[in-house]
Amino acid sequence: MKKVLVLAIALTFALSVTALAAGNNPLIKLGLHTKAHPTSCTKGYPVFTACSQIIPTWTACGDVDVMPVFFDLAEVTVVEFGLTWPAEWGTMSWVRCKGTIAVGGILNPGEGTAISFQTCQLGWSIAPGYGWVIATGPGMVTPIPYFATGDYGVVDCQPSPGPYYDYPMCVFRAGICGMTGDDPCEPTAVEPSTWGSIKSMFE
C-alpha cells in the first residue's frame, strides 16, 4: 500500500510539471495503431520501431483494438492522453498493458488516463495499452488531451530542474470501418497548435 501511495504522489508531481524548457523528447508524435481483437498484453504484444509499423486504418467494421503509440521518443516516466470516437459505437474497453500505476480511465468518448512508470523507459516508442471498440459504422478514433489536466504528452526522466513535459509535434487519428486514418509517416496530421478548440470541448 505504501508503494502505491508513493507512486501516486510521484505521478501527481510529474503531471504538475510545467514545460519551462524543452525536454528530451522534442520530436515526439502520437499515433493510433489498429489491429484485430483480441490483443494480449504479453504474448505477441506489438513493438514499434518505425512509423510504417503503425497501421492507422482498419477497413472492417465490428471488433477492433486501437493502440495509442507515442513515438520518436528518447525517454519517458509518464504518458497521458485521452481518446474520442463516435458515440454510436458505445463504450470502449481500455486495457493498460504497460506502466506501474495509472489515474483516470477510458470508457466513454472524451475520457483519458495518465500512466506512470517506476523506472525511466528508454526507446523509440511506447504503446501503453489498447482500447477495444465495436465499430457499428464508419468513424475516426482521435487522440485528445486528458481532461483532468488539459494536456497530452509525456514527461521525461531528467533530474532537477526537470523533469520536463514534452508535447507531440503531430497527432494522428485512426480510421475504422471505411474511414482512412492519418499516415503516421506523413507530418501533415493535426498539430498541437490546432488543438485548443478541441481541448476546450472537454474542459
Look at residue 191 and tell me whether its pLDDT is greater than 70.
no
What are the tens digits of pLDDT across the range 54-83? Answer: 999 999 999 999 999 999 999 999 999 999
Q: What percent of the chain has pLDDT over 90?
A: 79
Q: Which of 10, 2, 43, 5 is nearest to 117 (CA)?
A: 10
Domains in the chain (CATH in brackets) are 2-200 (2.60.40.680)
Residues 6+ positions from 92 with CB-CB distance below 8 Å: 66, 83, 85, 106, 107, 108, 109, 131, 132, 133
- Partners of 131 in beta bridges: 66, 94
pLDDT in tens, 70-124: 999 999 999 999 999 999 999 999 999 999 999 999 999 999 999 999 999 999 9
